[in-house]
A and B are shown apart, each in its own frame.
Chain A
Amino acid sequence: MKHAIAAAALGLFAALAALAQSPDFARKPPAWQVALEASKEVAAGEAIATKGKGAALACAGCHGAKGVPAAGAPFPRLAGLPVEYFAKQLFDYRDGIRANAIMGPIGKALADAEIASLAWYYASLEVSAPRATASADQPQRGWQLARYGDNALALPACVDCHGGDVTGGGPVLPGLAQPAAYTAAQLSAFRDGERKNDGDGIMQAIAKRLSDADVKALADYYAER
């Protein structure tokens, strides 16, 4: 009897607890979004980009003056990246969900406001596609994957999300025109689990279905955009 009462009381308590848990459907803004809204200092961003800050090396050293890397360099173009994408990447380097030996320590050396300033600075620079760094030996396959995807592999076209030009498809969906070495490295990082800052794993799942030849074809295609 005692047990029954205790069980009933427990049941009632559980029911009340469930009722008390009012559903909250509102989206919580991620930290990088909060930082971007709090700080929009383009000049401060330019200073860090050109001179560095403490352990954070000057961005321009690798990524070029004005955010366009030297021809043949394996580093990504930063000019014209969406502020949201840029800021999110540095937060993710810092948090380790985008693992990289060079960028990890740089992310850790920067405060939220400094990341935001850099994002606003690079977004303000003119967008320009990188010059071709590799000759495409599979132009057809790269074009097909980028524009139409692959039905048998259940791959949607890259352009569905990333857009058809250098400006990209949305706040966290950058344009894909980048040096071939960079694109290939990122697809490999997604495939191998070194880069897992893609929400629910959307790019990891896609990259796992790309062959080495597909990766090269896409890297070559986007190097010439």
Chain B
Amino acid sequence: MSKIMPAVDVVLVGGGWTGSVIGKELAATGQRVVVLERGQPRWTSPDFQAPGVRDELKYTRRNELHQNAATETYTFRNRVDETALPMRRWQFAYPANHLGGAGVHWSGAYYRWDPVEFRLRSHYTQRYGARIFEDGITAQDWPLTYDELEPFYDRFDRLVGASGFAGNLKGVIQPGGNPFEPWRSRPYPNPPMRVPHAPALFGEAAAKLGYHPYIQPSALSTRPYVNSEGLHMNECVYCGFCSNFGCEQFAKASPQVCILPVALKLPTFELRTNAHVLRVELDKDRKSARGVTYVDAAGVETFQPAQIVTLCAFAINNTRLLLLSGIGRPYDPATGDGVVGRNYTHQTSSGVSLFFDESVKINPFMAAGAVAVTMDDFCSDNFDHGPLGFVGGGYIQIQVVSGAPIGNRPTPPGTPGWGSAWKKAVKRYYNHSIPITITGSALPVRGGYLSLDPTYRDAWGQPLLRITYDFPDNDIKLSAFLTEKGTEIGHAMRGVTLAQGNPRTKPYGATGYQSSHINGGAAMGSDPATSVVNRYGQCWDVPNVFVTGAALFPQNSCYNPTGTIGALAYWTADAIKRDYLKAPGKLIAS
């Protein structure tokens, strides 16, 4: 028998970006809100202060801020005829845990998605013909447009203190900015980041080749800033402990820095940490949720009744909660029927290793998660895909993320993996090497999906989420093309003695890092036959359950997800406040 808590209006599962944004928005209207966060509360001060936070072993190698793979992980296989095995430690991605979620340990790369991404299927079909999509690709249009989302991107910009130089203000291209940028109603609230040496060399070479390099937008504040919630952010100091770390400076945007201090002052907002949600509880007719069951810090199973349930867990963990709760019909790859778990994607990333002569000093430790010179010439549909025969694109850049001494040991191909020759190469190249990174889009395939594992269970006895996926040929072609372009730029850079492209190849695997952008399983759409939620993130089958985050992406663009996730959170909060609270029920007829 579960312990039962007093009923509230809204329960949100997860204290990351979307839970914090939607929770605060609804609490401010007077709704009684509880956010259940499975991890510990951690705050910039004292938890992320130096010297303690600058610990690569603890945070990066031992995954301090990531999901604990010993209690809950994913299983993985490439094809349905294989048996999936659990990932024992994180290599392919870093799912989040703890207050703030991935919004704490992220890099802060901050993009809006190109308008084409929201009508991917129809745009490419119209321009290149339906056959540009290879058989079995289940990519589909979003049920909303960039123009509809723009005001919400703008709101999130002001929450996170976005930095950058506008390339397109209300349709007018701005000299010095990214000419491919989607239109924006206002400039970035903060100026672009400062450029380290390696990205400057990249930008010089890219411009020489006729491309359009620019400084990557980021959610790292570049000057003292008071955000849209009246909270202070400080200036990024390029300390080099950014991705995988909490920011010591209150400079990298996170829920802790940007919104939670305001939410927690509202009498209607409650945050409960160490509260691990097991499932959403449904009524007997399975058309309405009653609340959620979680395990509290003392290990007691607890029921939290609520009128509205919002799933705000890490990316695909929302898909798992839907499956565990029996919300929506699970996807069956054999028949193509069902929707929950459909359209899983990752990010088709690759790189070009660059090695320089000793006059070029990279200083990789002078770094920030999102400091880069980048280019969008090969993103979205910014180039002619006709002769290439694939869909999608990617950005090419040099980003100086970290010179952390355990992970950053670049050596040229052919160097032994140990011994004196390895040591000599490490010494020679530590300060004279950096990769060009390429971040490509990813298309969903009919045989790629998320489901509950029949064998392996988590520490609470529930089935693990199983990933079944391999790359479509489309994305392999894309990666080969982009990596070749990146290698050409590498060869054109001053001081480069060796440029080695490493395109992504099959099979998709669980042991090489690709990005932490794992998406899908609860696709947003306009047709209940091919989507789990409607354009507001509301479940078609259980209208008082809303889903947020990257689980909604029908496919992945080349751009980092958080800008779009934040915009969608405000979009959903707006729909709940404007329409749902006045007349609870389906916001879109089905």
Interface string of A186-203 (1 = CB under 8 A from B): 000000000000011110
Specify the chain A residue showing the minimal Cβ separation from B257.
A154
Most buried by A among B45, B173, B203, B222: B45
Whether A152 touches B204, Cβ cut-off 8 Å, given contacts A21-B175, A157-B45, is no
Using a CB-CB cutoff of 8 Å, which residues 187-223 of chain B contact chain A? 194-195, 197, 199-200, 203-204, 207, 213-215, 222-223
Using a CB-CB cutoff of 8 Å, which residues 235-283 of chain B contact chain A? 235, 237, 239, 248-250, 257, 261
Separation of A73 and B373 alpha carbons in the complex (Å): 48
Stretch touching chain A among B21-29, B226-234, B452-460: B226-234
Q: Is the CB of A151 within 8 A of B224?
A: no
Q: Is the CB of B200 within 8 A of A25?
A: yes
Q: Is the CB of B237 within 8 A of A161?
A: yes
Q: Is the CB of A147 within 8 A of B49?
A: yes
Specify the chain A residue showing the minimal Cβ separation from B48.
A156
A51 in the interface, Cβ–Cβ < 8 Å? Answer: no
Q: Which residues of A contact B235 (CB under 8 A)?
A: 199-202, 205
Using a CB-CB cutoff of 8 Å, which residues 159-205 of chain A contact chain B? 159-161, 164, 199-202, 204-205
B336 in the interface, Cβ–Cβ < 8 Å? Answer: no
Specify the chain A residue showing the minimal Cβ separation from B194.
A27
Q: Is the CB of A157 within 8 A of B224?
A: no
Q: Which residues of B contact A151 (CB under 8 A)?
A: 43-46
Q: Is the CB of A25 within 8 A of B233?
A: no
Using a CB-CB cutoff of 8 Å, which residues 6-25 of chain A contact chain B? 14, 17-18, 21-25
Whether A21 touches B194, Cβ cut-off 8 Å, given contacts A160-B49, A205-B232, is no
How many Å from the CB of A65 to the closest CB on chain B?
34
Which single member of A25, A157, A205 contacts B195 (CB below 8 Å)? A25
Specify the chain A residue showing the minimal Cβ separation from B190.
A200
Specify the chain A residue showing the minimal Cβ separation from B248.
A160
B51 in the interface, Cβ–Cβ < 8 Å? Answer: yes
How many Å from the CB of A159 to the closest CB on chain B?
6
Which single member of A25, A148, A205 contacts B234 (CB below 8 Å)? A205
A155 in the interface, Cβ–Cβ < 8 Å? Answer: yes
Using a CB-CB cutoff of 8 Å, which residues 463-488 of chain B contact chain A? none
Specify the chain A residue showing the minimal Cβ separation from B179.
A18
Q: Which residues of B contact A18 (CB under 8 A)?
A: 173, 175-176
Separation of A199 and B249 alpha carbons in the complex (Å): 16
B80 in the interface, Cβ–Cβ < 8 Å? Answer: no
Separation of A149 and B198 alpha carbons in the complex (Å): 33
Q: Which residues of B contact A23 (CB under 8 A)?
A: 176, 203, 207, 213-214
Interface string of A15-41 (1 = CB under 8 A from B): 001100111111100000000000000
Q: Which residues of A contact B224 (CB under 8 A)?
A: 200-202, 204-205
Q: Is the CB of A25 within 8 A of B213?
A: yes
B581 in the interface, Cβ–Cβ < 8 Å? Answer: no
Q: Is the CB of A159 within 8 A of B203?
A: no
Q: Is the CB of B213 within 8 A of A156?
A: no
Separation of A159 and B222 alpha carbons in the complex (Å): 20
Q: Is the CB of B49 within 8 A of A25?
A: no
Q: Is the CB of A200 within 8 A of B261?
A: no
Q: Is the CB of B50 within 8 A of A160?
A: yes
Q: Is the CB of B45 within 8 A of A150?
A: yes
Which of under 10, 10 to 19, 20 to 34, or 35 or more describes the interface residues of A?
Answer: 20 to 34
Q: Is the CB of B237 within 8 A of A149?
A: no
Which single member of B49, B222, B237 contacts A157 (CB below 8 Å)? B49
Q: Is the CB of B223 within 8 A of A201?
A: yes
Using a CB-CB cutoff of 8 Å, which residues 151-188 of chain B contact chain A? 173, 175-176
Separation of A211 and B408 alpha carbons in the complex (Å): 42
Which single member of A152, A201, A202, A209 contacts B261 (CB below 8 Å)? A152
How many Å from the CB of A124 to the closest CB on chain B?
25
How many Å from the CB of A152 to the closest CB on chain B?
7
Specify the chain A residue showing the minimal Cβ separation from B256.
A151
Specify the chain B residue showing the minimal Cβ separation from A157.
B49
Q: Is the CB of A164 within 8 A of B51?
A: yes
Q: Which residues of A contact B51 (CB under 8 A)?
A: 159, 164
A56 in the interface, Cβ–Cβ < 8 Å? Answer: no
A206 in the interface, Cβ–Cβ < 8 Å? Answer: yes
Using a CB-CB cutoff of 8 Å, which residues 122-164 of chain A contact chain B? 147-157, 159-161, 164
Whether A156 touches B222, Cβ cut-off 8 Å, given contacts A17-B175, A18-B175, A25-B215, is no
How many Å from the CB of A161 to the closest CB on chain B?
6
Separation of A18 and B175 alpha carbons in the complex (Å): 5
Q: Which residues of B contact A157 (CB under 8 A)?
A: 45, 49-50, 248
How many Å from the CB of B399 to the closest CB on chain A?
13
Separation of A150 and B46 alpha carbons in the complex (Å): 8
Separation of A198 and B58 alpha carbons in the complex (Å): 33
Separation of A26 and B215 alpha carbons in the complex (Å): 12
Whether A156 touches B204, Cβ cut-off 8 Å, given contacts A18-B175, A21-B176, A201-B223, is no
Separation of A152 and B362 alpha carbons in the complex (Å): 37
Q: Which residues of B contact A148 (CB under 8 A)?
A: 45-46, 49
Q: Is the CB of B45 within 8 A of A149?
A: yes
Separation of A153 and B195 alpha carbons in the complex (Å): 29
Interface string of A88-109 (1 = CB under 8 A from B): 0000000000000000000000
Separation of A147 and B199 alpha carbons in the complex (Å): 33
Separation of A206 and B250 alpha carbons in the complex (Å): 11
Separation of A14 and B173 alpha carbons in the complex (Å): 10
Q: Is the CB of A27 within 8 A of B200?
A: yes
Q: Which residues of B contact A199 (CB under 8 A)?
A: 235
Separation of A14 and B203 alpha carbons in the complex (Å): 22
How many Å from the CB of B273 to the closest CB on chain A?
15
How many Å from the CB of B99 to the closest CB on chain A?
12
Separation of A151 and B47 alpha carbons in the complex (Å): 10
How many Å from the CB of B198 to the closest CB on chain A?
10
Separation of A26 and B494 alpha carbons in the complex (Å): 13
Separation of A133 and B259 alpha carbons in the complex (Å): 42
Separation of A202 and B222 alpha carbons in the complex (Å): 10
How many Å from the CB of B398 to the closest CB on chain A?
10
Whether A154 touches B233, Cβ cut-off 8 Å, given contacts A25-B373, A160-B239, is yes
Q: Which residues of B contact A147 (CB under 8 A)?
A: 49
How many Å from the CB of A158 to the closest CB on chain B?
10
Using a CB-CB cutoff of 8 Å, which residues 1-37 of chain B contact chain A? none
Separation of A25 and B199 alpha carbons in the complex (Å): 8
Separation of A155 and B224 alpha carbons in the complex (Å): 11
Separation of A22 and B206 alpha carbons in the complex (Å): 10
How many Å from the CB of B201 to the closest CB on chain A?
8
> Which residues does A use to contact B, with CB under 8 Å?
14, 17-18, 21-27, 147-157, 159-161, 164, 199-202, 204-206, 209
CB pairs A–B below 8 angstroms (13 shown):
A23-B203, A25-B213, A26-B204, A154-B250, A155-B250, A156-B44, A156-B249, A157-B248, A160-B49, A160-B239, A200-B223, A201-B235, A202-B235
> Which residues does B use to contact A, with CB under 8 Å?
43-46, 49-51, 173, 175-176, 194-195, 197, 199-200, 203-204, 207, 213-215, 222-224, 231-235, 237, 239, 248-250, 257, 261, 373
Known: A26-B195, A149-B44; 8 extra A-B contacts, CB below 8 A, are: A17-B175, A23-B213, A25-B213, A25-B215, A27-B197, A156-B234, A159-B49, A200-B222
Closest CB pairs A-B (n = 9): A205-B224, A25-B200, A154-B232, A18-B175, A200-B223, A151-B45, A149-B45, A25-B203, A148-B46
